[in-house]
Amino acid sequence: MERKTLNNFAKAITEINPEKPWDEKLKIYSDARLAVHYAPFEHINKQAKVVICGITPGKTQASEALKIAKEGLSAGLDLALIQEQAKQAASFKGLRDDLSSMLDRTGLNKKLGIETCNELFGNKSNLVHYTSAIRYPVILANGEGYNGTPKVNKTEILKKMLETYLMDEIQELGEDCIWVPLGKGAVQALDYLVQRGHMDSKQVISGLPNPSRENAESVRLFLEDIYPQLNEYQERKYQKYLLEGSWKKNGRKPQSEEQYKKIRKARWESVLKTRREYGIDMH
């Protein structure tokens, strides 16, 4: 796969509206299911000891990076500096508190020799590199952002992007660098490269809940000081569900108690398994 960088799209970026990142001038690839567009996310922090890896940049991230790049190009800045500034402008900003707390629970702060992983977003920012498994933004044919479907390890163009761009970053950062995938898609992407011998599974802190607003329940469970008993957790969540009445919207009916508690059990078991993998719960 031919590598694309800012040098290939500098002229186009000066011409497009950054608020519309899916401009045809930025298109790298498209088929009946998805399209890949360029945004300047190729900068690599070579000092990094840990990598925070999402699945692909979203529209907000792409727009912000393109805006920074357009301003830099207009000012005549060096391309390498523009790439660095654009990458730093859009890096998991809304997820940092929960993410750093979870990483501390895995013991990553001790491995890095810092008091807390919150420092990675402050005075120790030189130790962290932000990236996406699929470096450049992917959108689906219906206009929605890519969230891991179709699977990254089952889709030819996405596999090629992993093997072209993500593999470069893994090799550039070295075998001692620790990778933290956020979400199932990012986990699948790193697993794909682990299975092919391009990185060691010991480099990956896997299984953490994605610290997004939609996944707040799993994050709170992971961070519990004392993990709740299953029955108590199911009942507490179910009563809260009935009290809040979110199911009333659009005239819907509530889930049955059996179905609701079945979903809570699956989440409870999944988070407990991850906590035990990192020695948080041994009971």
Give me the number of domains the chain comprises: 2
Answer with the one of 168, 185, 209 that is the final residue of a domain: 209
Residues 81 and 196 in one domain: yes
Task: Examine residue 219 and state whether it is found in any structural domain, yes or no.
Answer: no
CA angle 74, 87, 159 (to 5 degrees): 120
Residues 90 and 183 in one domain: yes
Q: In this structure, are residues 193 and 162 in contact, taking their beta carbons and an 8 Å threshold?
A: yes
Tell if the pTM clears 0.85, that is, is over it.
yes
pLDDT digits (tens, 9 = 90+) for 139-152: 999 999 998 899 99
pLDDT digits (tens, 9 = 90+) for 194-221: 999 999 999 999 889 888 888 899 999 9
Residues 66 and 89 in one domain: yes
Residues 174 and 242 in one domain: no
pLDDT score recorded for residue 210: 86
Residues 133 and 238 in one domain: no
Residues 241 and 181 in one domain: no
Which backbone phi and psi does 179 adopt, to 5 degrees? -110, 135
Q: Could you tell me the residue range of the domain that residue 139 belongs to? A: 6-209
Residues 244 and 117 in one domain: no
Residues 34 and 172 in one domain: yes
- CB burial of 243-254 (b: ≥16 within 10 Å; e: otherwise) equals eeeeeeeeeeee
Structural Rg of the chain based on CA atoms = 21
Task: Examine residue 200 and state whether it is found in any structural domain, yes or no.
Answer: yes
Q: 143: buried, middle or exposed (CB in 10 Å: 19+, 13-18, 0-12)? A: exposed
pLDDT score recorded for residue 233: 97
Residues 52 and 168 in one domain: yes
pLDDT digits (tens, 9 = 90+) for 20-66: 999 999 999 999 999 999 999 999 999 999 999 999 998 989 999 99
